[in-house]
Amino acid sequence: MKSNRSGKDDALKELRAPATRESLRGLMRLVSDFAAARRFPKARIREIELATEEALLNILDHAYPGDSKGDIEVRCERLDDSGFRIRITDAGIPFDPLSLPDPDLSRPPTERNPGGLGVFLIRRMVDGIRYRRSGDRNVLTLIARKRSLPPQADGALSPGPSKKGL
């Protein structure tokens, strides 16, 4: 794994690793440590971890089909005192996760098309999301801000902001 994890207060951290499940822990630790160093609340860090993990697992499961191999790069960059950018880059097959519609949660799971819940959760857990194809690379950018979501009486996740742009 290639990293520039130098100091706790750096405004930028990045890590490139093989697109394998063995790399997941290190990539996730980069994001968690970056948020913690910026004094994000623990509950908010868990939300950011959930969104990041889902995005990374989608890449691991779908970006490199068959025996193809590649890498994933995660880059965390401070925006200001209340937020940071997570840029996830891979050279897998082109795929825009934002092209997926939100699942119809009013229908029972047995009547819905499978899949799409992970992207739905990512959208709810972050404050901004953008996808672009740059040359032969997929670039997914997540914006995470310090915020606290009000707890739901029924334990459901609170919906995040509806904006998709950055």
Task: Domain count for the chain, please give it.
Answer: 1
Helix (H, G, I), strand (E, B) or coil at 136: coil
Domain assignment present for 15:
yes
Reading the block at residue 152, the tokens are 């739901």
Q: What is the pLDDT of residues 61-100, one digit of tens each?
A: 999 988 889 999 999 999 988 899 999 999 999 999 989 8
* pLDDT for position 2: 57
Domain assignment present for 43:
yes
Q: What is the pLDDT of residues 99-110, one digit of tens each?
A: 988 888 888 888
Residue 116: partners with Cβ closer than 8 Å, 6 or more residues away: 100, 101, 102, 103
Domain assignment present for 151:
no
Mean pLDDT (whole number) for 114-121: 82
Domain assignment present for 76:
yes
Statement: residue 158 has pLDDT above 60: no
Residue the block writes with tokens 């996740």: 157
Statement: residue 159 has pLDDT above 50: no
Statement: residue 59 has pLDDT above 50: yes
CATH of the domain at 100: 3.30.565.10
Q: What is the pLDDT of residues 129-149, one digit of tens each?
A: 999 999 999 999 999 999 754
Q: Which domain holds residue 78?
A: 8-145
* pLDDT for position 132: 97
Domain assignment present for 108:
yes
This prediction's pTM: 0.81
| 8 Å CB contact between 158 and 152 | yes
Q: Which of 4-8, 49-53, 93-97, 118-122 has the lowest mean pLDDT?
A: 4-8
Domain assignment present for 154:
no
Q: How many CB atoms lie within 10 A of CB 111?
A: 8
The neighbouring-strand residues paired with 76 are 13, 86
